[in-house]
Copies of this chain bind each other. A is one copy, B any other.
Amino acid sequence: MPLVVQKYGGTSVGDASRIRNVARRVAERKRSGDRVVVIVSAMGRTTDDLIRLSREVSDQHHPRELDMLLTAGERISMALLAMAIRDEGVEAMSLTGSQAGILTDTSHGQAKIRDIKAFRVEEGLEAGKVVIVAGFQGVSPDTHEITTLGRGGSDATAVAMAAALHADVCEIYTDVDGVFTADPRIVPGARKIDEITFEEMLEYASAGARVLMGRSVEFGMRFNVPIHVRSSFHDEPGTWVKEATMEQPIVSGVAHDTSTAKVTVRGVPDTPGVAASLFTPLAVEGVMVDMIVQNVSSEGATDISFTVPLELLDVARPIAEATARAIGAAGLDVDDQVGRVSIVGSGMRAHPGVAATMFSVLADAGINIAMISTSPIRVSCVIAASQVDEAVRRLHDAFITAEQVVAP
């Protein structure tokens, strides 16, 4: 019997009627003959509400207790979903992350999954039940403490559980139809991608696509779990994320991200260790630096620019300022009016002209490029935030709608 792990996010279980909808869908799948494990997030705004409540009570940071608090959220949604599935005439039981054997490290608020001992999940499946598992949470076997997995945690739970159970597929239900060649709100002609490789999906995630976070894709890639990103509103297939099985298109899509800020440290003494002294303290505070560009050194000094997620700018700025002073840099510039556009495609490896074509397309549109970074299958440019939509449309026209322009 095929085994499917399905993950439903907070919007899909946002109220009683949506929970009943999900229950009907799960029950149908179970009756069709599949074994079904469901990973569920907290209902709608529950997590935000709990965080707000904790701020009313305390203005300090209590990571252990915050995890204890937040894990109440999935407990509520999973119990309600189990009830609704049972009402559909299908046996179901809910398990907390701890009960489901999701073992993590000890890092509250951003724990990493170390192992899954899914005994109780397997028992439930053997008893013919749908097993519902709380997403986003686990337990540290070292400290016996409840932990949460941080952003994208429920997706990570789903893919890791699918890997542990050797599931046939991990289905991520979302409010979009799948992964698109570009954001359809910007490019009306964007089309859904039927199949994409793990590597490409990783690049999309790092390029700002919100549909599936990198950590889940990494699990899928490492344990070769096919991930099916699909809509929770209808039964049409979405996008399959899996190992490469065919010739890959040169460019599979255009991603963008406007929640980025650019920080430039000017006049950095060009001595060994200077980059480390800048980026180590940022890493310690959990600031993810996306792109780093170091300009050519002139007269013994250099400029270092990097991008950080906009929501971490308030954390990054004072660190960068302090470091800039400490290393004797000339100054610091911050630009929060920037965005990134990226093109992604496994076929790029064999087509070295792709980046150059991208730069021409942007230049023809009068769009100035502030920073560039590349991977073997992605090219990203930082540009003015106001020009991102136009850039996405131009790149989609050039690479997707009329793909022949990249032929060498």
By a beta-carbon cutoff of 8 Å, the part of chain A in contact with chain B is: 15-16, 19-20, 50, 53-54, 56-60, 62, 64-66, 68-69, 71-73, 75-76, 78-80, 82-84, 86-87, 93-94, 96, 99, 120, 144
Q: How far is the CA of A400 from the CA of B73 in the complex (A)?
A: 51
| Cβ–Cβ < 8 Å partners of A76 in chain B | 50, 53, 69, 72
| Cβ–Cβ < 8 Å partners of A62 in chain B | 82-83, 86
Q: How far is the CA of A15 from the CA of B54 in the complex (A)?
A: 11
Shortest Cβ-Cβ A-B pairs, 9 listed: A16-B56, A69-B79, A68-B79, A72-B72, A58-B83, A72-B75, A65-B79, A65-B82, A62-B83
A-B contact pairs, 27 of them (CB 8 A): A16-B56, A16-B57, A50-B76, A54-B83, A57-B87, A58-B86, A58-B87, A59-B87, A60-B83, A60-B86, A62-B82, A62-B83, A64-B93, A65-B82, A65-B86, A65-B93, A65-B94, A66-B83, A68-B78, A68-B79, A68-B82, A68-B96, A69-B76, A71-B75, A72-B72, A72-B79, A120-B144
Task: Indicate how many identical chains form the complex.
Answer: 2
Tell me if A65 and B83 are in contact (CB < 8 A). Answer: yes
Q: How far is the CA of A72 from the CA of B146 in the complex (A)?
A: 14
Q: Which of A19, A58, A79, A86 has the most CB of B within 10 A?
A: A79
Q: How far is the CA of A66 from the CA of B72 in the complex (A)?
A: 14
Tell me if A75 and B68 are in contact (CB < 8 A). Answer: yes
Known: A53-B16, A64-B93. A69 touches B58 (CB 8 A): no
Closest residue on chain B to residue A61 by CB atoms? B83
| Cβ–Cβ < 8 Å partners of A80 in chain B | 53-54, 57-58, 65, 69
Chain B nearest CB, measured from A62 CB (Å): 4
Chain B nearest CB, measured from A70 CB (Å): 8
Tell me if A79 and B93 are in contact (CB < 8 A). Answer: no
| Cβ–Cβ < 8 Å partners of A68 in chain B | 75, 78-79, 82, 94, 96
Q: How far is the CA of A73 from the CA of B2 in the complex (A)?
A: 37
Chain B nearest CB, measured from A214 CB (Å): 29
Chain B nearest CB, measured from A114 CB (Å): 20
| Cβ–Cβ < 8 Å partners of A73 in chain B | 72
8 A-B pairs besides A59-B87, A65-B79 with CB distance below 8 A are A54-B83, A58-B83, A60-B83, A60-B86, A60-B87, A68-B82, A69-B83, A72-B75
| Cβ–Cβ < 8 Å partners of A94 in chain B | 65, 68
| Cβ–Cβ < 8 Å partners of A53 in chain B | 16, 76, 80
Chain B nearest CB, measured from A358 CB (Å): 49
| Cβ–Cβ < 8 Å partners of A75 in chain B | 68-69, 71-72, 75
| Cβ–Cβ < 8 Å partners of A69 in chain B | 75-76, 79-80, 83
Q: How far is the CA of A68 from the CA of B79 in the complex (A)?
A: 6
| Cβ–Cβ < 8 Å partners of A54 in chain B | 79-80, 83
| Cβ–Cβ < 8 Å partners of A50 in chain B | 76
Q: Which of A69, A73, A96 has the most CB of B within 10 A?
A: A69
Tell me if B93 and A57 are in contact (CB < 8 A). Answer: no
Closest residue on chain B to residue A52 by CB atoms? B16
| Cβ–Cβ < 8 Å partners of A71 in chain B | 75
Closest residue on chain B to residue A87 by CB atoms? B58
Known: A65-B94, A79-B65, A94-B65. A58 touches B84 (CB 8 A): yes
Closest residue on chain B to residue A120 by CB atoms? B144
| Cβ–Cβ < 8 Å partners of A79 in chain B | 54, 65-66, 68-69, 72
Chain B nearest CB, measured from A253 CB (Å): 38
Tell me if A20 and B57 are in contact (CB < 8 A). Answer: yes
Q: Which of A59, A64, A76 has the most CB of B within 10 A?
A: A76
Q: How far is the CA of A56 from the CA of B73 in the complex (A)?
A: 17
